[in-house]
Amino acid sequence: MNAQLLTAYEITAGYGAMDILHGVSLSVHPGEIVSIIGPNGAGKSTAFKAMIGVLKPRNGRVVFNGEEITGLRPDLVLRRGLAYVPQGRIVFPLMTVLENLEMGAYTVTDAREVAAALERVYALFPILAERRKQKAGTMSGGEQQMVAIGRALMTKPRLILLDEPSLGLSPKFVTLIFDKLIEMKRAGFTLMIVEQNAARALAIADRGYVLELGRNRLEGAGTALLADPEVKRLYLGG
């Protein structure tokens, strides 16, 4: 197996005085899709925030690309090549699609690099090229999610953390977003995904984790977790 691209070792983190994560460990190897599932409130989003520096872990370490990034500011984490698409497909509604994408490249100073990044995003999401002049706030939920993902791709990140990319989308867009995640993997991106759609998230995953109450509960190959009786009962409605 390759060296790990990102490792979170026994992270303890929370809000105010309250710990939400109690020693969570997660890792991703280059080229993998890793999916994280678990009930509402398990701490999945909190784990992402602790890895990208929005929350400072009280304990534990985050190592990215061989360097410790524990508690490093989010903008510096992004410059190291770790991008984050937050839960809730947040776009700048009054800005155009193109302006939203350009915002994603604020750390990139070379105009040719920005142009090349735009071309990559448009190749993955042709609809964004067609709608480049449209205000992002007037697009459908699925289209806004593509804008949010496209914005994260503008820095050519080594790893992208996607928090609930399919949440609240119509079935057509859910299928489209999962297809795009597979396309991103084929294009060489490494992905870590938090998803309530456990069946689909595990189906596309090389590996997966189940978090419960701020702790690691289960982990394994995506196919193994899909076949796990407990995962089936609790998360796959079987």
Contact residues toward ligand ATP (CB under 6 A) are 15, 20, 38, 40-46, 87, 196
Report the nearest approach of ligand ATP to the CB of residue 160 (Å).
Answer: 17
70 part of the interface to Mg ion, by CB under 5 A: no
Please, what is the minimum distance in Å from the beta carbon of residue 196 to ligand ATP? 6
40 binds, among Mg ion, ligand ATP, none (CB under 5 to 8 A by kind): ligand ATP
Nearer to Mg ion, 45 or 155 (CB): 45
Of 100, 136, 6, whose CA–CA distance to 61 is shortest?
Answer: 6
Q: How many residues sit in the footprint of Mg ion (CB under 5 A)?
A: 3
Please name which of 16, 87, 39 lies closest in space to residue 211, comparing C-alpha atoms. 39
Q: In this complex, which beta carbon is closest to Mg ion, that of residue 87 or of residue 134?
A: 87
Q: Which is nearer to Mg ion, 65 or 87 (CB)?
A: 87
Q: What angle do CA 23, 64, 181 make, to 5 degrees?
A: 95
| Residue with Cβ nearer Mg ion (44 or 207) | 44
Site for Mg ion in 74-93 (CB under 5 A): 87
Q: Minimum Å distance from CB 10 to ligand ATP?
A: 17
The item of Mg ion, ligand ATP, none sharing an interface with residue 155, based on CB under 5 to 8 Å by kind, is none
Q: Which is nearer to ligand ATP, 30 or 71 (CB)?
A: 71
Query: Within 35-54, which residues bind Mg ion (CB under 5 A)?
Result: 44-45
- CA distance linking residue 144 with residue 49, whole number of Å: 21
Q: Which residues contact 201 (CB under 8 A, 6 or more apart)?
A: 35, 37, 193, 195, 208
What is the rounded distance in angstroms from the CA atom of residue 237 to the CA atom of residue 170? 20
Closest CB to Mg ion among residues 40, 109: 40
Name the nearest CA neighbour of 85 among 34, 38, 48. Answer: 48
The minimum distance between CB 221 and ligand ATP, in angstroms, equals 22
- 3-state class of 150 per DSSP? helix
Minimal distance, residue 202 CB to Mg ion, in Å:
17
- C-alpha distance from residue 13 to each of 76, 179, 213 (Å): 20, 33, 13
- Rounded Cα distance between 99 and 59, Å, is 38
∠ CA 88-29-214, nearest 5°, is 50
The contact set with Mg ion (CB under 5 A) reads 44-45, 87
